[in-house]
Amino acid sequence: MQTMTTYENVLTELNQKVLTITVNRPDKLNALNAKTIEELHEALIEAENDKEVRSVIITGAGEKSFVAGADIAEFANYNIEQGKLLSATGHFKLFNFIENFSKPIIAAVNGFALGGGLELAMACHIRVASENAKMGLPETSLGVIPGYGGTQRLAQLVGKGKAFEMITTADMMNAADACKWGLVNYVVPLPELLQKCAEIAAKISLRSPIAVKTAIKVINAGFNNKFNGYDVEIEEFGKMFGTSDFKEGVRAFLEKRKPSFNGN
Ligand code: COA
């Protein structure tokens, strides 16, 4: 296992091409303060630059909470400008950053995922929840609205009607219902959560890194009204034919062997 940067509020562990990032403020239920967002950003940049890392798992420390939201104490006295900056910085450094990351990021939702915590999980590409997980966007109970992409991504995942209900009532959803509504892909007992995520990650590690990166880009393009997803798909599909991963993947199939991708 190689040495990685040490952070104050974030733990990182690289194991079999999968970087697990743990938000580590259990006494505050892993609430996201500015320092934690900055450290997550830095850990992700490190993951981006490390060719050994093929996917990332994000989880929360302890058995009670994934992330219980943005740190309410930190923004309690913010004014309008500071509020806007808080949201914009979060989008830029963490939430959009994760969504557009070149390697798949899996949220291992191990308890409360509220407000910024659910927004963090929703920015990830894949979500797996433990049976004890509770998810919601309770911001309207604090006199505010979701500011880290929740108004947009919740509607994309559960549909507009359920998103209206969840955000206006501030109700939490349990893990079974979250799976029913498509908010998470799987629900497993808490002790099996990281193993389930590792199994998904292990499959990703077998695939072509450049094809996986391109697939993330094209899927996201379809949800970005600046682009026509189909046009982006045609363009990116064509480019794949110029990669050595494509040549290797096809050659391996024809030679009836497993491919060995180099990501180029
Ligand atoms: N921001 C800052 N601190 C938070 C926090 C948040 N979002 N969520 C929890 N904490 C802190 C609590 O203040 C408490 O700290 P303290 O021990 O120093 O007082 C500690 O974490 C434990 O939380 P507590 O509320 O005592 O646990 P609980 O089991 O009674 O309740 C929750 C759990 C998740 C229901 C409750 O903590 C909660 O509602 N948190 C806020 C969720 C929220 O509104 N998130 C959206 C923010 S925009």
Expressed in angstroms and rounded, the spacing between residue 236 Cα and the centre of ligand 1 is 44
Q: What is the mean pLDDT of residues 150-157?
A: 98
24-82: pLDDT as tens digits: 999 999 999 999 999 999 999 999 999 999 999 999 999 999 999 999 999 999 999 99
What is the pLDDT confidence band of residue 210, given thresholds at 50, 70 and 90?
A: very high
Of 24, 29, 65, the one to substitute when testing ligand 1's pocket (max ligand atoms within 8 A of C-beta) is 29
pLDDT at 246: 98
> Residue 1: is its pLDDT beyond 60?
no
Closest ligand 1 atom to Cα of 64: 29
- Do residues 115 and 68 lie in contact, with contact meaning Cβ atoms separated by under 8 Å? yes
Of 28, 35, 134, the one to substitute when testing ligand 1's pocket (max ligand atoms within 8 A of C-beta) is 28
Tell me, using a 6 A CB cutoff, whether residue 115 lines ligand 1: yes
Active site residue 139: yes
Write out the two tokens for 79.
Answer: 């004014």
Amino acid occupying residue 164: F
Pairing of strands 65-67, 112-114: parallel
Helices (H), 6-59: 34-49
Nearest CA to ligand 1 atom 19: 28
pLDDT at 42: 98
Rounded-to-integer distance, Cα 222 and Cα 216, Å:
10
Q: What is the mean pLDDT of residues 134-143?
A: 98
Q: What is the pTM of this model?
A: 0.98
> Residue 194: is its pLDDT beyond 80?
yes
pLDDT at 4: 77
Residues 6+ apart with CB under 8 A from 212: 103, 104, 204
Rounded-to-integer distance, Cα 99 and Cα 103, Å:
10
Tell me, using a 6 A CB cutoff, whether residue 119 lines ligand 1: no
Q: What is the mean pLDDT of residues 208-232?
A: 97
The string of DSSP letters for 76-141 reads TT--HHHHHHHHHHHIIIIIHHHHT-SS-EEEEE-SEEETHHHHHHHHSSEEEEETT-EEE-GGGG
What is the pLDDT confidence band of residue 3, given thresholds at 50, 70 and 90?
A: low
pLDDT at 185: 98
> Residue 2: is its pLDDT beyond 80?
no
- Do residues 43 and 78 lie in contact, with contact meaning Cβ atoms separated by under 8 Å? no
Tell me, using a 6 A CB cutoff, whether residue 68 lines ligand 1: yes
Max CA pair span of the chain: 65
Other CB atoms within 10 A of residue 11 CB: 16
CA dist 21 → 83, 119, 164, 188, 194 (Å): 27, 16, 31, 20, 11
Active-site choice (38, 74, 131, 139):
139
